[in-house]
C-alpha cells in the first residue's frame, strides 16, 4: 500500500530529492510530483543509496561536469553511481497549490492564511457561518498536540482541523479537540488521488463536517451564483481592464462552456488575454473557472429573464403604438 499521505507528513517540512519522495509515496510519486511538488532549483548534497545499503551517497561533480554519488560507508561498500541533474535536484511540496486543492475538494470558500504554529494554515471556510478549516502538517505527536492547543485557544469556537494522517492523534489531542468542539479529519481516510491528479472526497464534505456546525447550512446555489456575479460585475467597473471584459469571458467560458481558444476567437483577442481574465476570476471568487461551469443553468435563467424583459418591453412598445393608431383613427 502506498504511503502517499505519510510522505507529505514526513517530507513536507523540507526539501528532498526525487528518490526520497518516491521511496515514501510509492506508485503515486509521478502523479504527485506533477501536480503538487515544485523544483527548488537547488542541488542536493546527497542521494539515497540505490543498492539499499542504507547510507547516503555524497554527490561530487567531476571535471567533466558529470555528477556522481560516492558511498559514505566505512568500510566503503558500494560502487559510485551516476547522478543526473534531475536526480540531484531538491523538490518541495507546493504548499499553496496543495492547500487550494484540499480546500476545493472539501467545497470550502478559499482562505489562504498562515497561522502562528509552524506548517499550519487556514485553507478555507465552510458553510454559511464560515466554519474555519485548518490544515497542519506535522511529523511529531508533541508538535501536533501544540498546534491543536494553539488553535483551540485562539479560535474559542468550533473549527475543522485537517492533517495528512491520523497517526499523530493521541488521547491528549483528542481531549483538546473535544473541549473546543472541533472536528479532526485526516486526508488519508477521506481523500483519494485520481489518475487525473485531482483529489476526490470519499464522502460528501457537507455531510462530513455537518456534526461540527449543526446549525449551519450550505448556501443555496442561487445565492452563491448571485455572489459570484456581484464580484465580477465590480471588476467590470475597473477602467484598467480592457476588452474583453471579465464578465464576457465569464459568460462564454463558464456559462456556455467554451474552451479558452473559442472564447478568444469569439472576443477577437489572443488566448493569453482570456487566460488572464480566467486568472482574475479564480483570484476574486476563490474558485476554479472550470468549477464555475456547474452554475451554467443559472446563466440560462438570467438569459431567459433578460429575453423576457426585452420581449415585454417590445410588447408594451407595440401596444402603445397600437393604441395611438386607434386614437388617430
Predicted confidence (pLDDT) per residue in 161-189, tens digit:
999 999 999 999 999 999 999 999 999 99
Whole-number Å distance between alpha carbons of 19 and 7: 12
- Asked if pLDDT for residue 93 goes beyond 70, the answer is yes
Q: Give the three-class secondary structure for 2.
A: coil
Domain ranges within the chain, ordered by starting residue: 4-93, 96-212, 219-329
Whole-number Å distance between alpha carbons of 309 and 237: 24
Handedness of CA 145, 147, 149, 152 (dihedral sign): negative
What are the cell numbers at 122? 487556514
DSSP 55: P
What are the cell numbers at 225? 451564483
pLDDT value at residue 323: 36
Q: Which residue has the higher pLDDT, 231 or 148?
A: 148
- Using DSSP bridges, classify how beta strands 37-43 and 89-93 pair: parallel, antiparallel or unpaired: antiparallel
Phi, psi of 183 (to 5 degrees): -110, 145
Q: Which residue has the higher pLDDT, 277 or 301?
A: 277
Report the range of poorest mean pLDDT among 129-133, 146-150, 168-172.
129-133
Domains 96-212 and 219-329 share a fold: no
Residue 152's H or E segment, with its range, is helix 141-155
Query: What is the tens place of the pLDDT at every residue in 95-116?
Result: 999 999 999 999 898 899 999 9
**Is residue 8 within 8 Å of 93, Cβ to Cβ?**
yes
Query: What is the tens place of the pLDDT at every residue in 18-55?
Result: 999 998 998 999 999 999 999 998 998 888 887 766 77
**Is residue 36 within 8 Å of 191, Cβ to Cβ?**
no
pLDDT value at residue 47: 87
Calculate the CA 2 to chain-centre distance.
22
Check whether domain 219-329 has CATH 1.10.10, yes or no: yes
Whole-number Å distance between alpha carbons of 279 and 283: 6
Query: What is the tens place of the pLDDT at every residue in 8-22?
Result: 999 999 999 999 999
Whole-number Å distance between alpha carbons of 130 and 25: 33
**Is residue 11 within 8 Å of 21, Cβ to Cβ?**
yes
pTM comes to 0.67
pLDDT grade, residue 235 (50/70/90)? Answer: confident
CATH number of 96-212: 3.40.1350
**Is residue 190 within 8 Å of 202, Cβ to Cβ?**
yes
Q: Which residue has the higher pLDDT, 89 or 244?
A: 89
pLDDT grade, residue 303 (50/70/90)? Answer: low
Amino acid at each position: 500500500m502506498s504511503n502517499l499521505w505519510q510522505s507529505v507528513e514526513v517530507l513536507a517540512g523540507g526539501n528532498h530529492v526525487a528518490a526520497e519522495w518516491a521511496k515514501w509515496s510509492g506508485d503515486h510519486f509521478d502523479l504527485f510530483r506533477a501536480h503538487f511538488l515544485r523544483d527548488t532549483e537547488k542541488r542536493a548534497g546527497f542521494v539515497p543509496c540505490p543498492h539499499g545499503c542504507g547510507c547516503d551517497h555524497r554527490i561530487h561533480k567531476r571535471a567533466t561536469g558529470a555528477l556522481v554519488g560516492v558511498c559514505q560507508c566505512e568500510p566503503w561498500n558500494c560502487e559510485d553511481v551516476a547522478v543526473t541533474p534531475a536526480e540531484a535536484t531538491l523538490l518541495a511540496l507546493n504548499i499553496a497549490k496543495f492547500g487550494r486543492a484540499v480546500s476545493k475538494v472539501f467545497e470550502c470558500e478559499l482562505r489562504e492564511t498562515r497561522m502562528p504554529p509552524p506548517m499550519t494554515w487556514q485553507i478555507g471556510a465552510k458553510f454559511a457561518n464560515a466554519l474555519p478549516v485548518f490544515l497542519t502538517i506535522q511529523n511529531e505527536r508533541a508538535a501536533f498536540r501544540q498546534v491543536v492547543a494553539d488553535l483551540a485557544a485562539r479560535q474559542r469556537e468550533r473549527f475543522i482541523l485537517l492533517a495528512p494522517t491520523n497517526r499523530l492523534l493521541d488521547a491528549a489531542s483528542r481531549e483538546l479537540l473535544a473541549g473546543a468542539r472541533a472536528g479532526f479529519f485526516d486526508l488519508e481516510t477521506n481523500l483519494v488521488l485520481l489518475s487525473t491528479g485531482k483529489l476526490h472526497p470519499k464522502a460528501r464534505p457537507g455531510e462530513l463536517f455537518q456534526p461540527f456546525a449543526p446549525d449551519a447550512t450550505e448556501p443555496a446555489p442561487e445565492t452563491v451564483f448571485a455572489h459570484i456575479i456581484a464580484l465580477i460585475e465590480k471588476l467590470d467597473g475597473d477602467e484598467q481592464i480592457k476588452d474583453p471584459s471579465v464578465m464576457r469571458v465569464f459568460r462564454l467560458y463558464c456559462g456556455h462552456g467554451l474552451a479558452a481558444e473559442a472564447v478568444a476567437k469569439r472576443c477577437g483577442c489572443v488566448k493569453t488575454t482570456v487566460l488572464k481574465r480566467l486568472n482574475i476570476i479564480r483570484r476574486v471568487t476563490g474558485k476554479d473557472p472550470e468549477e464555475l461551469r456547474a452554475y451554467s443553468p443559472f446563466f440560462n435563467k438570467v438569459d431567459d429573464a433578460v429575453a423576457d424583459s426585452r420581449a415585454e418591453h417590445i410588447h408594451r412598445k407595440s401596444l402603445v403604438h397600437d393604441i395611438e393608431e386607434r386614437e388617430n383613427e
